């Protein structure tokens, strides 16, 4: 499994460096050469899921005024209690709830997707190395390798989306960023048509009703305006396909001022789509859930009834992502 993970992230930087110039969809696409002396992200960590850790490490201006804000209550953390959350602006993103509730806008996207033939019990993952199936969500299709603890109500959602958790998404690869997933250059030629981007290819094969979009990496030195522009294209394409995009904040602050997370929340607010505030979920953890390189997530097995393991980021990531999917399932199946 560790070898598979290393293979998945072995090309972490090559897509980041040139994908944007291959995409041909934006006049603001990044140039092919990164600035000389620009900082680079830390290299991939070698993680072995069979080894248990013994220590835990301590703007784009909108085209119109942003008026869309979270429309319903959400769970604030990993706990099982749902409480009303205040209406917050995107500038207050650090206080946005971890788990959203499906908005009327998102529900309308979902219902249009059903008309287009999307599978109500399918979701896709779109992202980089923190979304590869070896570590992210696939455990829920491996009985005995996870324990729900007090979250037994989530088993219904595990059963509902069976098959999507362990899917090796065509829109996930180590080093992918918001430009890469829109570029046909990076599509799997064995699975995708010549003109298809990884995103389009994944959606054609999976026909998902939901897509978890989690993009931690970006091209060092490039402005957030470009990141946000590409993210908006991903969201718009998803909406066009009737797939509800679930945007995720990231745990790290590699850029130094949280500008990528701020951009992610702006986009979620503008389009009134679900926001999984993973950043908030890991704030109580030692080192805010990050290893010494301040980028990779701390690891432990997915036993949610073990308070020691729950001091690491990976089980929190898997649990809160499952809680988000549970909220989406309940939202689309509830009476309006």
**What are the residue ranges spanned by the domains of the chain?**
2-26+97-333
End-to-end CA distance of the chain: 43
Average pLDDT over residues 52-73: 28
Of the listed ranges 21-25, 37-41, 196-200, the one predicted with least confidence: 37-41
Banded model confidence at residue 22, pLDDT cuts 50, 70, 90: very low
For the segment 115-156, what is each residue's pLDDT rounded down to a tens digit? 999 999 999 999 998 888 889 999 999 999 999 999 999 999
pLDDT the model gives residue 221: 80
Average pLDDT over residues 61-70: 28
Distance from CA of residue 143 to its chain's centroid?
A: 24
pLDDT the model gives residue 55: 27
- The CATH architecture of the domain made up of 2-26+97-333 is 3-Layer(aba) Sandwich (3.40)
pLDDT(36) > 60: no
**DSSP characters over 238-271:** HHHTT-EEEEE--S--TTSS-HHHHHHHHHHHHH
For the segment 259-297, what is each residue's pLDDT rounded down to a tens digit? 999 999 999 999 999 999 999 999 999 999 999 999 999
Exposed e or buried b per residue across 178-204, where buried means at least 16 C-beta atoms within 10 angstroms of its C-beta = bbbbbbbebbeeeebeeebbbbbbbbe
Of 183, 223, 281, 209, the closest CA to residue 61 belongs to 223
Q: Enter the tokens of residue 213.
A: 């979009």
Instruction: List CB contacts of 254: < 8 A, sequence separation 6 or more.
Output: 41, 294, 295
pLDDT the model gives residue 219: 81
Instruction: List CB contacts of 315: < 8 A, sequence separation 6 or more.
Output: 300, 301, 302, 303, 304, 309
Banded model confidence at residue 336, pLDDT cuts 50, 70, 90: low
Of 224, 215, 231, the closest CA to residue 182 belongs to 231
**How many Cβ atoms from other residues are within 10 Å of residue 38's Cβ?**
10
Instruction: List CB contacts of 86: < 8 A, sequence separation 6 or more.
Output: none
Q: Is the pTM of this model over 0.85?
A: no
Q: Kindly report the average pLDDT of the chain as a whole number.
A: 80
Average pLDDT over residues 49-57: 29
Residue of higher predicted confidence among 37 and 121: 121
Tell me the angle at which helices 313-333 and 104-115 cross, rounded to the nearest 10 degrees: 70
């Amino acid at each position: 499994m560790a070898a598979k993970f290393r293979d998945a992230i072995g090309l972490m930087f090559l897509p980041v460096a040139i994908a944007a110039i291959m995409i041909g969809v934006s006049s603001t696409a990044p140039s092919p050469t990164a600035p000389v002396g620009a900082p680079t992200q830390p290299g991939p960590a070698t993680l072995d899921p069979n080894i248990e850790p013994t220590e835990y490490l301590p703007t784009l201006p909108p085209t119109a005024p942003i008026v869309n804000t979270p429309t319903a209550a959400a769970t604030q953390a990993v706990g099982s209690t749902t409480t009303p959350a205040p209406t917050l602006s995107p500038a207050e993103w650090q206080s946005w709830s971890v788990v959203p509730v499906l908005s009327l806008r998102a529900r309308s996207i979902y219902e249009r997707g059903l008309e287009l033939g999307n599978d109500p019990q399918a979701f896709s993952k779109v992202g980089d190395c923190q979304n590869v199936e070896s570590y992210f969500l696939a455990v829920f299709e491996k009985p005995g390798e996870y324990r729900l603890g007090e979250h037994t109500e989530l088993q219904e959602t595990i059963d509902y989306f069976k098959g999507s958790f362990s899917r090796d998404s065509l829109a996930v690869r180590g080093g992918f960023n918001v430009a890469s997933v829109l570029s046909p250059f990076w599509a799997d030629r064995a699975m995708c048509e010549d003109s298809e981007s990884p995103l389009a290819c994944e959606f054609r094969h999976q026909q998902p009703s939901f897509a978890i979009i989690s993009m931690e990496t970006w091209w060092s030195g490039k402005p957030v305006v470009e990141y946000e522009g590409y993210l908006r294209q991903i969201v718009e394409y998803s909406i066009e396909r009737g797939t509800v995009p679930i945007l995720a904040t990231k745990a790290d602050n590699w850029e130094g001022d949280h500008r990528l997370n701020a951009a992610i929340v702006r986009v979620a607010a503008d389009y009134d789509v679900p926001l999984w505030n993973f950043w908030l979920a890991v704030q109580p953890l030692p080192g805010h859930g990050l290893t010494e390189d301040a980028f990779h997530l701390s690891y432990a097995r997915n036993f949610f009834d073990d308070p020691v393991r729950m001091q690491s980021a990976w089980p929190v990531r898997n649990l809160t992502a499952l809680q988000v999917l549970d909220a989406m399932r309940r939202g689309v199946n509830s009476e309006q």
